[in-house]
A and B are shown apart, each in its own frame.
Chain A
Amino acid sequence: MPSFQITLTPKDRAAGRFVGRVKRAFQKALDDERRRSGLTQSKMARSLDVHRSVLSREINGNRGLSATRIGELAWAMGLEPHFELRKPTVRAGQNSVTSAPAGTDIGTTTTPAQSGADVNAMLRRPPVPVAA
């Protein structure tokens, strides 16, 4: 019996994994800010004027997040979301280029894949203004 994959369209797989990375970025950022400044979900919920359970579902659960909401959550953490679009990485000999839409040149690159490994890059602290 050959190995098997979860049946998903390439579009749904890409979207689901992106959502997963966004959630993990928020979870990691909240952990970091908790240690750094004592930020808690309760404090965040108060600043966003929502119940803590709603916030928990957004960050830890599978409640959907709009781009607007991502901006609001990042603001409540004192962070800026960093958004970037780039070509997927393809390793030599890899046989998954069919996952890209027809007509898309996905190229070959040696840059790290956008993955769970770089969720830190999704949320950053805003730069500190320099006094004039």
Chain B
Amino acid sequence: MATLEALDRVHAVSKVDAALGSRLEVRCIYASPRFRAWAETTLPTMEAHPLAGTTHAQELDTLLEQFCAGDELKIGPRLKSLEHKSDSVWELKTDSLRLFGWFTQRDYFICYVADDTDRIKQYRLYEGYITETVRFRDQLDLDQPKFVPGDDPHAVVSNYAYP
């Protein structure tokens, strides 16, 4: 069993640098090797909708900044940027992207996999991604408790709001 920092040192996860500049890090995200590989190879090649104002990479960068800097997260029936799926797996959202992972403690998110929203819906990948996230979580040699159980947003993030 190991801490997140120790797992980072052996490449089991990688801490995401949200490029906060002068802003302080309030929350943090760790990436699985799969998410990191996707962010480094697939994400830059993803084409935005012709009417989109930003690319997928810009959307993700903005989400990472918002999350890590501790900006207010919308949770609820509308405009949500964070949603519980099942098995204590949570989804961080932009308009074009979905990130699946879990919280090891409040404000500490491990992202296992991310993909294009339309692709996930078209190929019905939700259940598969949730199952794979749970499998990765089970196999990760992380100190217990590995995750915050349940669907209570207060238990997993600070500074959130129901729109």
Could you list which residues of chain A lie within 8 angstroms of chain B, going by C-beta atoms? 1-8, 12-13, 15-17, 19-20, 24, 27, 31, 57, 60-65, 88-91, 94, 96, 99, 113, 115-117
Contacts and interface: CB of A to CB of B under 8 A. Distances in A.
A62 B16 contact: no
A113 B71 CA distance: 13
Nearest to A119: B71
A113 B23 contact: yes
A45 to B, nearest CB: 16
Contacts of B88: none
Contacts of A62: 48-49, 52-54, 59, 94-96
Nearest to B13: A1
Q: State the main secondary structure of chain A at its contact with B.
A: loop
Contacts of B48: 62
* 5 nearest CB pairs, A to B: A16-B58, A64-B53, A20-B62, A116-B71, A3-B15
B163 interface: yes
A3 B23 contact: no
Given A3-B16, A60-B95, A113-B23, A16 B39 contact: no
Interface in B17-50: 17-19, 21-23, 31, 36, 39-40, 43-44, 48-49
Contact of A31 (B49, B61, B69, B163): B163
A63 B66 contact: no
B52 A17 contact: no
A96 B21 contact: yes
